[in-house]
Chains A and B, each alone.
Chain A
Amino acid sequence: MGKHMYLRMAKDGMHKNRQMYFPYLLTCVIMVMMDYLIVYLASCKTLSMAKGGTSAQGMLGFGVAVVAIFAVFFLLYTHSFLLKQRKKEFGLYYILGLNKQNLLRICGWETLITAGISLAGGLFLGILLSKGAELCLVKLIQGEVILRYEISVFGIVKTIVLFAAIFVLQFVGASWQMMRMQAVNLLHSDKMGEKPPKGNALFAIGGALLLGGAYYLAVTIEEPVRAISIFFIAVLMVIAATYALFIAGSVFACGQMKKKKGFYYKPNHFVSVSSMSFRMNRNGAGLASICILSTMVLVTMSTTICMYIGSEEAVKMQCPKQISASVRFTNSELPIASAVEGYRECIEKVIEKNRVKVTKKADYLEGTFIAEEKSGYLNTTEADFRKGLKTGNCYMVSWMPVEDYNNNYRKKVKLAADEVLLDDPDNAYKGKTIRFNDGAVYKVKRVSTSGAENFYANAAGYPPLRIYGGQVPEGAMLIYHYDVDTTLTDEESGNVSDRILEKISNYHVPGKTVQEMQQDNISLDVRTQKEMRDGFLSEFGALLFLGCLLSLVFLVATVLIIYYKQIAEGYEDVKRFDIMKKVGMTEREIKKSINSQLLMVFFIPLVTAGLHLSFAFPLIEKIIMLMGICNRVLLAGTSAIGFAVFAGFYMIVYKMTANEYYKIVR
């Protein structure tokens, strides 16, 4: 006797159930590996030495938490599934004379073996692949490669602690199951069919309302700033709704299919419909999990890929030309015109002195404010983004003197004193006149100026109005822009932008000192596309990398759930098909019936995931808008391609697991 016997029984048990244990162990190994990889990347020194590495690591820190939380839930869930499958075996041991302590010992050994293999295998693979993963990430964020190999002790310790905790929890769960075990129940366990849950209609209605609500929120949201908080609420609503609807829907559909005699009593449908309704609740829950995981993969991938590809656009949005300088006046008592003139001279002096060849130039004064329309007035308001204004009658106004308009758009417009040009791309403003709250009234001449979208206007979710001409509106925030494209290289543009900043920092209007200028809260900003690009790439590259990593984790989970679903149902159905063969069912009919069942069931999650993705689309669009990317076509493209690739992958998994099922029941 002694402990060797229990160890041997544990080993035998795992070996005999290898059809279930092997995929489980593989999943554990992958989870450990992923956890180590992400902790390693988020904390390793090598990466922090690379350009953009630290900001990438900030992003990855978020992923560390996601992977850990997901690993806990997912591994506990799959383990409880394994335990359920083996209940009968343990029941037999129990009846043959092993007491519960003995059974716990077997369980304990099993847990130890699982932990040992997963931690050793996972950490080995993690350490092996860590440099490769790091290089991929560095490539994505376009940082420089640092040839230095590092093993993260912190990562190893953290991974071991996390997974040790998970395995301890699994063992506690197993013990709890063992303690409640009663021999009689174990011997004839799975004969009863599932009853439709009480209040199924309520479930269905609740689910439909939740889903409808989430979809409504997603479609109607206009302010991107609120989109982020709404997004998380909507995600929770969709998850709950998916579970409720899949369970209720599966119960309802089974009932309906059984009622339709002409459909039910057909060789293809008869067997599949009855076994589906036999396990309708479980079926619904399993399919809902598959659907949600698929949606997570789809949303993550299409979003992060879109952001990475679209990062150049974000660069242009925040820095329209190679070098973009801006001066923001907060104090309107300054002599603006002369200050603008002074700043322009400063910048042009630097450009001349450095012999910079300018290919394109735009310099203009811009006044921006949020205006609320009230009985024909455009009132400047103290807008608080965080509170969120009513969007109904607010506009994001951008004003420009008519001279700058003529300069920038190469026009020769002459306006009367009571005229302004209005560009209203959303066709939101209906009035024929505009009256600012300082009392000035202007007649509107509508124009259309195609150009870069106003980033801030979109972010706030208000329709933009561009007004050219007239006096500076009261309460507008005035910004002087000086943007140039040059023939400089990226490196040189950085130098020049530093010089420009240095020069304009020392400028002061006559009668004020440099210190007084600073006290007036004039904010100066000179940026280059190069530095913006580096910033975005390290941010979006890290996000894309994180998206791939998380998608991989979710994918593994999806595949395992599908696989287990097939296996568990296969073992349940094997006796049934045996009887059916005796009653006179041919192999061909069995195969057809299986196909009918799988087809009916397996493509529903995929289609629903596609539906979720398309309703999440407006929400995702708003969120990435906040990151500076307004490209609906690109997002639609990455979503569509992402869905197509995922569907192909799903088909393969379906084929393979269906084979597995068929092998069991034949």
Chain B
Amino acid sequence: MSMLEVQGLKKTYSTRFGGAKVEALKNVGFEVDEGEYVAIMGESGSGKTTLLNMLAAIDKPTAGSVKLKGKELATIPDKALASFRREHLGFVFQDFNLLDTFSLKDNIFLPLVLAGQKYTEMESRLRPIAKALNIQELLEKYPYEVSGGQKQRAAVARAIITRPELLLADEPTGALDSKATDELLALFGEINRAGQTIVMVTHSVKAASHANRVLFIRDGEVFHQVYRGEDNNEAMYQKISNTLTLLTTGGE
């Protein structure tokens, strides 16, 4: 069964006073199955972020639909949106978005606290996650006391502690050095193998090469898809870079 269904998605921004219209997304359609790990690539301005905002129900499409487990996002009333996001989606951001007033542990707990979970429940959920992400020792530290990679791992923990159906990552390696990037990507792979559906927006070929499938977006449309099949990461890397070369040299 498909976890995420995107059909004929269109988003038009109009400047104030109804002047020139900008088409950020023309016609985007794709599906993501449960347990899949999909990367979305594209150059700056290709509409990646707009697409992610739609998937996260932060922005509403002009036309078309986004369905999560068969539920149409546009029909969710505004009031319920925040809690819907909290319960069904997990987010990892480029700049971590950890709160400096909280220790890492409290940052991770934030969505559960907002959902009104009991402390014992939170603790028991945190233990395996902290172990898997190797941040047990850091839990009492504050964001300004740890490195970028450690911050991002905490952010991942925060995203998956709610057991979301879909994990959305927006350039998660963008602010990390190469070692931390490798660690984080390995981590995403593990999480995915454990059954977590992931959609990641990136323009790092390396990051995308860890996914099972890569969607390329150009000028507001899905331009191409690359499947991993039986390839390893290196072969996947090669495929992606070939596609990108094609994209930039204007193929088709």
Contact = CB atoms under 8 A, between A and B. Distances in A.
A192 B141 CA distance: 12
A584 B82 CA distance: 5
Interface stretch (B41-49, B92-100, B216-224, B229-237): B92-100
Interface in B70-122: 79, 82-83, 85-87, 91, 93, 97-102, 106, 109-111, 113-114, 116-117, 119, 122
Nearest to B79: A586
Contacts of A191: 100, 144
B158 interface: yes
Contact of A274 (B82, B85, B101, B117): B101
A583 B101 contact: no
A585 B114 contact: yes
Q: 4 closest pairs, A vs B, by CB?
A: A584-B86, A586-B82, A278-B101, A261-B119
A133 to B, nearest CB: 47
Given A191-B144, A262-B119, A582-B91, A275 B82 contact: no
A422 to B, nearest CB: 70
B114 A583 contact: yes
Interface stretch (A265-273, A491-499, A500-508, A645-653): A265-273
A583 B86 contact: yes
A584 B114 contact: yes
Interface residues of B, number: 27
Interface in A241-280: 261-262, 265-267, 270-271, 274-275, 277-278
Contacts of A193: 100-101, 142, 144
Interface stretch (A108-116, A212-220, A541-549, A573-581): A573-581
Interface in B125-163: 142, 144, 158
B100 A265 contact: no
Contacts of A520: none
Interface residues of A, number: 25
Contacts of B98: 579
* Most chain A C-beta atoms within 10 Å of own C-beta, residue among B101, B109, B119: B101
A257 B208 CA distance: 44
14 contacts: A192-B100, A193-B144, A265-B109, A265-B122, A267-B116, A270-B109, A274-B99, A275-B101, A277-B101, A576-B99, A579-B98, A583-B91, A584-B85, A585-B86
Contact of B82 (A277, A576, A579, A581): A581
A592 to B, nearest CB: 11
A118 B102 CA distance: 42
Interface of A: 191-193, 261-262, 265-267, 270-271, 274-275, 277-278, 576, 579-587, 589
A81 B35 CA distance: 53
B209 to A, nearest CB: 28
Nearest to A593: B114
Contact of B113 (A265, A277, A579): A265
A270 B110 contact: yes
* Most chain B C-beta atoms within 10 Å of own C-beta, residue among A191, A192, A193, A576: A193
B144 A192 contact: yes
A24 B115 CA distance: 42
A283 to B, nearest CB: 12
A140 B93 CA distance: 67
* Most chain B C-beta atoms within 10 Å of own C-beta, residue among A265, A267, A275: A265
A579 B99 contact: yes
B111 A584 contact: yes
Contacts of B100: 191-193, 278, 576
Contacts of A275: 101
Nearest to B84: A584
Contacts of B117: 265
Contacts of A589: 82, 114
Contacts of B113: 265-267, 270
A607 B53 CA distance: 48
Nearest to A584: B86
B116 A576 contact: no
A194 to B, nearest CB: 10
A598 B93 CA distance: 30
Contacts of A579: 97-99
Interface of B: 79, 82-83, 85-87, 91, 93, 97-102, 106, 109-111, 113-114, 116-117, 119, 122, 142, 144, 158
A271 B100 CA distance: 11
B117 to A, nearest CB: 8
Nearest to A588: B79
A586 B119 CA distance: 21
Given A267-B114, A586-B79, A589-B114, A580 B119 contact: no
A33 B106 CA distance: 50
Contact of A584 (B79, B83, B142): B83
A581 B110 CA distance: 11
Contacts of A584: 82-83, 85-87, 111, 114
Given A193-B142, A262-B119, A278-B101, A583 B110 contact: yes
Contacts of B101: 193, 271, 274-275, 277-278, 576
Contacts of B83: 584, 586
Contacts of B109: 265, 270
Contacts of A582: 91, 93, 97
A117 to B, nearest CB: 35
Contacts of B111: 583-584
Contacts of B97: 579, 582-583
A261 B85 CA distance: 25
A581 B91 CA distance: 12
Contacts of B86: 583-585
A191 B109 CA distance: 21
B114 A265 contact: no
* Most chain A C-beta atoms within 10 Å of own C-beta, residue among B87, B106, B111, B122: B106
A292 B111 CA distance: 39
A579 B158 CA distance: 12
Contacts of B93: 582
B91 A580 contact: no
Contacts of B106: 270, 274
Given A262-B119, A580-B114, 20 more contacts: A193-B142, A265-B109, A265-B113, A267-B113, A270-B106, A270-B113, A274-B106, A579-B99, A580-B99, A580-B110, A582-B93, A582-B97, A584-B82, A584-B83, A584-B86, A584-B87, A584-B111, A586-B79, A586-B82, A589-B114
Nearest to B95: A579
A262 B82 CA distance: 24
A580 B122 CA distance: 18
B119 A583 contact: no
A583 B102 contact: no
A261 B117 CA distance: 12
Contacts of A583: 86, 91, 97, 110-111, 114, 158
Nearest to A261: B119
A600 to B, nearest CB: 15
Contacts of A278: 100-101
Contacts of A580: 99, 110, 114
A350 B101 CA distance: 85
A274 B102 contact: yes
Nearest to A586: B82
Contacts of A192: 100, 144
A278 B100 CA distance: 8
A200 to B, nearest CB: 19
B163 to A, nearest CB: 14
A270 B93 CA distance: 22
Given A579-B97, A583-B111, A265 B82 contact: no
